[in-house]
């Protein structure tokens, strides 16, 4: 048989090449935007950087991978904000390629191409690509795992099972939310015979054992530290508080529309309704298994107690593929351009916004205002430290601890945390508690209006005055300085105010 001529044979479009060009261009743009950003490290970022100075198999509130990544990044390019924030855009470019591979396997190259672009430009991804959070490595390994799961179903090979176990295990070292992926596998197996076949032949056991081996060092670290990370994770859910706050639930729903745009989440709901009526499309069943259970669980959490908007971030991978696969197959032009336009605006805003000079946007509406001013805080503390030869610096909140550890990283004065708790309430109380024998005199810096819980632990305590520095909003940040000496510790049976939880969004 003679092959058809080039004139009569349709030419396959080079989606792979187009996608590589797009991902590289967007990566370059994001790295340039990071270099020009005026935003200081926020609390979470400064905290993770401080962890990276003391590598371990676990930390108070998170597994260790984020610290390891930051340490590797800073070894390559230094400790500047731009360097520390340089790996998220790289990770998302790689994750987007795996979104393409999965989308191509399920819906074809065209749908995979647009799924990758949509994933890399979703509002939630645009935000996370400009910040250091544990969701960054989580989404990378989630996207790899979803592709490996697709291949395991197709090939039923032990090699794919081994690779999937490795990926899930590393993902758990990034964030415990990776446990949702095995949940997705289980949900898929309930409704899919081919998913059940993929887990037979000891493949499910191999996946579980490899993942368990990889997370074991972190489990042992938690055992050695009283399972502090798990206790923190449980406390974060706060099921004993905020029960039935309707406004918090409405906020959660609005945030989801903001994170994914006005089309993606409503389409997921609609496709769920269709799948309930007709489960013949195996692709829809599979992708819903890796998105819908997470949305349901976090939505229930929002009804019961507090949530953070980013807790649904792992939905982004499967949702991008499912929604764009449907939109491309059905040629839904209005939905297509709505998604593309929304994502383009979000991506542009997250690259341009942090680089705008202070004052261009009114502080009342500037979403980046709270990320500025920490350099000024550190400068004010440095000036006060130099006045009376203080031998130690003390704080009573974890946001100040994290920010001053980073922005005073060239200082030789040790930073310690004065706590009024019997049990450490954060990483710095665990690793830097003020103890008897610490060098004195001590400069205490506090953002509290009343710091008696800290000052009463010293025989000598003098108020030095306060200073308000710009940043963090319209009113700035007010620092209160105290000179302390003769530490006696907390009186038995006496506790102070609850620890300041800082400005964390990721915790």
Task: Specify whether 299 is located in the same domain as 405.
Answer: no
Helices (H), 53-86: 65-77, 81-84
Residue 273, domain member (yes or no): yes
The pLDDT tens digits of the residues spanning 155-196 come to 999 999 999 999 999 999 999 999 999 999 999 999 999 999
Task: Specify whether 340 is located in the same domain as 384.
Answer: no
Q: Which strands sit side by side in the sheet containing 477-487, from one edge to the other? A: 415-417, 392-395, 442-446, 477-487, 458-469
Q: 14: closest CA among 114, 109, 112?
A: 109
- DSSP-derived 3-state class of residue 467: strand
- DSSP-derived 3-state class of residue 245: coil
Where do the DSSP E strands lie in 116-177? none
Q: Which residue has the tokens 């938690």?
A: 222
Q: Greater confidence, 236 or 427?
A: 427
Residue 278 has pLDDT above 80, yes or no: no
Specify the pTM: 0.91
Task: Specify whether 111 is located in the same domain as 242.
Answer: yes
Look at the chain and report how many structural domains it folds into: 2
Beta-sheet pairing, 477-487 with 458-469 = antiparallel
Residue 96, domain member (yes or no): yes
Residue 358's pLDDT is 67
Residue 305 has pLDDT above 80, yes or no: no
Q: How confident is the model at residue 463 (pLDDT cuts 50, 70, 90)?
A: very high
Q: Which helix (H) or strand (E) holds 459?
A: strand 458-469
Rounded CA gap, 216 and 209, in Å?
10
Task: Specify whether 155 is located in the same domain as 268.
Answer: yes
Q: How confident is the model at residue 244 (pLDDT cuts 50, 70, 90)?
A: low
Q: Which range of residues forms the domain containing residue 170?
A: 15-355
Task: Specify whether 377 is located in the same domain as 348.
Answer: no
Task: Specify whether 320 is located in the same domain as 388.
Answer: no
Q: 419: closest CA among 499, 501, 503?
A: 499
Q: Which residue has the tokens 């048989």?
A: 1
Task: Specify whether 386 is located in the same domain as 318.
Answer: no
Task: Specify whether 238 is located in the same domain as 343.
Answer: yes
3-state helix, strand, coil in the chain (%, to 5): 60, 5, 30
Residue 10's pLDDT is 53
The pLDDT tens digits of the residues spanning 114-150 come to 999 999 999 999 999 999 999 999 999 999 999 999 9
Residue 35 has pLDDT above 80, yes or no: yes
State the average pLDDT over residues 463-469. Answer: 93
- DSSP-derived 3-state class of residue 481: strand
Rounded CA gap, 327 and 118, in Å?
12
- DSSP-derived 3-state class of residue 209: helix
State the average pLDDT over residues 435-440. Answer: 89
Percentage of the chain exceeding pLDDT 90: 68
Domain finish residue from 355, 384, 408: 355
User: Which is it for the CA torsion 257, 263, 268, 274, positive or negative?
Assistant: positive
Residue 507, domain member (yes or no): no
Task: Specify whether 401 is located in the same domain as 315.
Answer: no
Q: 451: closest CA among 503, 387, 395, 379?
A: 395
Largest CA distance in the chain: 98
Q: How confident is the model at residue 6 (pLDDT cuts 50, 70, 90)?
A: very low
Q: Greater confidence, 479 or 235?
A: 479
Residue 10, domain member (yes or no): no
Mean pLDDT for the chain overall:
89
Residue 497, domain member (yes or no): no
Cα angle 240-242-428, degrees, rounded to a multiple of 5? 70
Q: Greater confidence, 187 or 38?
A: 187
State the average pLDDT over residues 274-280. Answer: 79
Residue 4's pLDDT is 41
Task: Specify whether 397 is located in the same domain as 293.
Answer: no
State the average pLDDT over residues 218-233. Answer: 86
HSE-up of residue 130 (Cα within 13 Å, Cβ side)? 30
Task: Specify whether 124 is located in the same domain as 34.
Answer: yes
Residue 303's pLDDT is 82
440: its two tokens: 């004195």
Beta-sheet pairing, 458-469 with 442-446 = unpaired
Residue 2's pLDDT is 37
Residue 221, domain member (yes or no): yes
Residue 241's pLDDT is 53
314: its two tokens: 């792992």
Task: Specify whether 341 is located in the same domain as 398.
Answer: no
Residue 502's pLDDT is 42
42: its two tokens: 């926020």
Domain finish residue from 304, 323, 355: 355
461: its two tokens: 């305590």
327: its two tokens: 């939109």
Q: 40: closest CA among 507, 503, 506?
A: 503
Question: What contacts 72, CB < 8 A, 6 or more positions away?
Answer: none
The pLDDT tens digits of the residues spanning 344-370 come to 999 999 999 888 876 677 666 677 777
Q: Which helix (H) or strand (E) holds 232?
A: helix 228-237
Q: 162: closest CA among 216, 213, 220, 96?
A: 213
Rounded to 5 degrees, φ, ψ at 130 are -105, 10
Distance of CA 452 to the CA centre of its chain: 35
Residue 500 has pLDDT above 50, yes or no: no
Residue 220, domain member (yes or no): yes
Residue 394 has pLDDT above 70, yes or no: yes
Contact yes or no for 445/455 (Cβ under 8 A): no
Q: 184: closest CA among 355, 3, 33, 318?
A: 318
Residue 90's pLDDT is 98
Residue 326, domain member (yes or no): yes
Residue 280 has pLDDT above 80, yes or no: no
């Amino acid at each position: 048989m003679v092959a058809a001529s080039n004139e009569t044979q349709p030419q396959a479009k080079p989606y792979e090449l187009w996608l590589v060009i797009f991902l590289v261009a967007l990566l370059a743009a994001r790295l340039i935007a990071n270099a020009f950003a005026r935003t200081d490290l926020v609390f979470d970022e400064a905290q993770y950087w401080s962890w990276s100075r003391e590598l371990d198999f676990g930390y108070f509130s998170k597994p260790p991978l984020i610290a390891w990544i930051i340490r590797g990044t800073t070894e390559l390019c230094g400790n500047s904000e731009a360097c520390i924030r340089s790996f998220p855009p790289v990770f998302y470019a790689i994750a987007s390629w795996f979104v393409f591979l999965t989308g191509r396997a399920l819906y074809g190259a065209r749908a995979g191409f647009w799924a990758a672009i949509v994933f890399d430009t979703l509002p939630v991804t645009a935000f996370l690509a400009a910040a250091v959070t544990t969701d960054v490595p989580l989404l990378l390994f989630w996207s790899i795992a979803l592709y490996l799961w697709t291949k395991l179903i197709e090939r039923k090979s032990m090699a794919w099972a081994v690779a999937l176990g490795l990926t899930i295990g590393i993902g758990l070292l990034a964030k415990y939310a990776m446990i949702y992926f095995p949940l997705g596998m289980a949900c898929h197996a309930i409704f899919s015979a081919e998913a059940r076949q993929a887990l037979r032949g000891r493949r499910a056991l191999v996946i579980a054992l490899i993942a368990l081996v990889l997370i074991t060092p972190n489990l042992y670290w938690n055992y050695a530290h009283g399972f502090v990370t798990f206790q923190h994770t449980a406390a974060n859910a706060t099921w004993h508080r905020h029960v039935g706050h309707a406004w918090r639930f409405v906020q959660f729903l609005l945030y989801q529309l903001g994170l994914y745009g006005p089309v993606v989440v409503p389409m997921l709901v609609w496709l769920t309704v269709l799948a309930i009526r007709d489960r013949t499309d195996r692709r829809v069943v599979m992708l819903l298994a890796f998105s819908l259970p997470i949305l349901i669980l976090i939505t229930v959490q929002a009804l019961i107690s507090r949530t953070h908007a980013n807790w649904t971030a792992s939905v982004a991978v499967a949702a991008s593929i499912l929604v764009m696969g449907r939109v491309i197959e059905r040629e839904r032009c209005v939905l297509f351009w709505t998604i593309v336009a929304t994502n383009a605006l979000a991506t542009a805003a997250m690259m341009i916004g942090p680089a705008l000079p202070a004052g261009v946007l009114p502080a009342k509406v500037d979403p980046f205002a709270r990320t500025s001013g920490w350099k000024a805080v550190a400068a004010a503390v440095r000036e006060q430290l130099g006045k009376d030869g203080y031998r130690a610096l003390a704080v009573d909140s974890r946001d100040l601890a994290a920010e001053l550890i980073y922005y005073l990283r060239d200082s030789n004065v040790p930073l310690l945390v004065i706590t009024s708790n019997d049990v450490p309430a954060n990483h710095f109380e665990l690793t830097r508690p003020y103890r008897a024998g610490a060098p004195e005199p001590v400069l205490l810096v506090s953002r509290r209006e009343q710091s008696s819980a800290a000052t009463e632990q010293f025989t000598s305590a003098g108020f030095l005055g306060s200073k308000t520095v710009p940043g963090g909003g319209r009113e700035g940040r007010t620092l209160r300085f105290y000179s302390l000496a003769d530490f006696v510790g907390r009186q038995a049976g006496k506790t102070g105010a609850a620890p300041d939880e800082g400005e964390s969004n990721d915790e």
